[in-house]
Amino acid sequence: MSKNQVQFQSGYSLLELFDEYGTEDQCRQSLFNWKCKVDPRFWTVV
């Protein structure tokens, strides 16, 4: 069976993913932070 290139990418590990986005609150905060960086219209959203 051949290797799937997607499965063997270097970079973001599952543990890093859970550390950063492991809870719903962490995920929500990260999304909010990303939106604020990308679009200034979200700066006033609380």
pLDDT recorded at residue 6: 63
Q: Read off the pLDDT of residues 1-46 as tens digits, 9 standing for 90 and up.
A: 566 666 666 777 888 888 888 899 999 888 888 877 767 666 665 5
Q: Is residue 11 part of a domain?
A: no
* Model confidence, pTM: 0.51
Phi/psi for 6 (5° steps) reads: -65, -40
Q: Is residue 12 part of a domain?
A: no
**Tally of domains within the chain:** 1
For the chain, how many residues are written? 46
Which domain does 34 fall in, by range?
Answer: 22-46
Q: Is residue 34 part of a domain?
A: yes
Q: Is residue 8 part of a domain?
A: no
Q: Is residue 9 part of a domain?
A: no
* Burial (0-12, 13-18, 19+ Cβ within 10 Å), 36: middle
